[in-house]
């Protein structure tokens, strides 16, 4: 069966970063689908220590996978909310 990708939750706000939007988007997606998707993708705007901890727990609790498209690394400017570390293997 061919793979499909769909946008199932959206929101509009006037904040410059997406860090605070991950939890509401996950909740809205779960509500729309009445289920937890098997895989998620998020850009680095969602990547913070708190969000990494949150998504790690979701992966454990719901057997789902989160893929951060561009996890933070040492070549980017330091941000106290963003963790530094290597990119997950095969998740580019």
Q: Which residues pair with 48 in a beta bridge?
A: none
pLDDT band at 92 (very low <50, low <70, confident <90, very high): very low
The DSSP string of 47-88 is --HHHHHHHHHHHHHH--EEEESS---TTSPP-TTS---PPP
For the whole prediction, is pTM greater than 0.75? no
Domain extent listing, the chain: 38-85
Residue of 48, 46, 49, 17 lying closest to 29 (CA atoms): 46
pLDDT tens digits, residue range 51-76?
A: 999 999 999 999 999 988 765 554 44
């Amino acid at each position: 069966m061919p793979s499909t990708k769909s946008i199932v939750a959206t929101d509009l706000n006037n904040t410059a970063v997406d860090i605070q939007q991950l939890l509401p988007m996950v909740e809205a997606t779960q509500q729309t689908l009445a289920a937890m998707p098997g895989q998620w993708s998020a850009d680095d705007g969602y990547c913070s220590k708190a969000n990494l901890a949150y998504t790690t727990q979701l992966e454990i609790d719901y057997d789902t996978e989160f893929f951060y498209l561009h996890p933070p690394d040492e070549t980017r400017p330091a941000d106290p909310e963003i963790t530094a570390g290597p990119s997950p293997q095969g998740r580019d």
